[in-house]
Amino acid sequence: MVDREVIEVGGAAGTLRVLCWSESGARDTGRPIALLLHGFPDAPDTWEPMARRLAADGWRVAAPYLRGYAPSDLASDGSYHVGALMDDALRVVDALGTTDRDVVIGHDWGAIIAGVLASLPDNPFRKAVLMSVPPIPVFYPIRGLGVRRSLLALLPAQLLRSWYIMFFQLPKLPERSARQVIPFLWRRWSVRRDVDLTPVYDAIGAPDRWTAAISYYRCAARDKTVPARYRAYQDRFGQPPQIPVLYLHGDRDGALGAGFADRARVVLPEGSSVHVVADAGHFLQFDKPEETIGKITGFVGDAR
């Protein structure tokens, strides 16, 4: 029987609350960890069907509310840089007790974090799954891909899709936009219309939580302000993964064009795979849960 519990893990800048699913307890080190990292605007609750399937396959599933997302603490050091988010993720698996079979699965911002974690030469994960945002080197110039897959061909449409990133750099105005932006992005990015956004509002609907969520984008544009304790992790940003990666992307993703999935094939290491999910939007685990779960469980395997 799969049980769900919430545990607390001390981070460098506050306490993280972590949703856990397992058949034998979150701290049973006889079973490997599947670390699930959510994106924006989202919350760990979206992982529920996938988490229960993975737990039934023997995994200890852990899905933290990323720093700033209630009920995790706001970052006491004000850092929402990728390096800080990587530090939090590693503290979670360390607290649960790592094994030599752990995997990391990330969506959207979680995929960015997971992709950079996968680039660490001494990272604790055996495999990584990235969803809807490919490894960062995909966004750099790559020779030999042809005109159709070149950045020049993909960027104009992508700049229109990414309007919200520029909007979040503005002072004050974005802070008043949560109730407009959250449902608007879900309508534009997902192919489903039956979403209950209550968990998202609970996580980032309050003014201070919304500021934290959009600070991810602000900190991404202000790399030089990262605290020294996260610098070594931050410096891996832009490096390719060192472990096998499954990359999944919806062909109707309204946030990031599916053309970037083709570029991902070039930067992933041996043992990796790329799959474009038909009739799926940005939130793959919500839009097409059965196909997404099937691809992921086929890649990471049974943990028994």
All residues at 6 or more sequence positions from 180 whose CB lies less than 8 Å from its CB, including other chains: none
Mean pLDDT by 10-residue block, N- to C-terminus, for the chain (304 residues)?
Answer: 95 98 91 98 96 96 98 98 98 97 98 98 97 95 72 89 96 95 97 96 98 97 90 95 98 95 92 97 97 97 90
The DSSP string of the chain is --EEEEEEEEETTEEEEEEEEESS-TT-TTS-EEEEE--TT--GGGGHHHHHHHHHTT-EEEEE--TTSTTSPPPTT----HHHHHHHHHHHHHHH---SS-EEEEETHHHHHHHHHTT-TT-S-SEEEEESS--GGGGS--TTS-STTSHHHHHHHHHHHTHHHHHTTSSSGGGG-HHHHHHHHHHHH-S-S----HHHHHHH-SHHHHHHHHHHHHHHT-GGG--GGGHHHHTTTTPPPSS-EEEEEETT-SSS-THHHHHHHHHS-TT-EEEEETT--S-HHHHSHHHHHHHHHHHH----
Burial class of residue 225, CB neighbours in 10 A (0-12, 13-18, 19+): exposed
Pick the CATH number of 3-300 from 3.40.50.1820, 3.40.50.10090, 3.40.50.300, 1.10.3720.10: 3.40.50.1820
The DSSP string of 114-167 is HHHHTT-TT-S-SEEEEESS--GGGGS--TTS-STTSHHHHHHHHHHHTHHHHH
Please check whether residue 80 is in contact with residue 68, taking contact to mean a CB–CB distance below 8 angstroms.
yes
How many whole angstroms from its chain centre is CA 233? 16
pLDDT of residue 148: 65
pLDDT of residue 223: 80
Tokens of 137: 């080197």
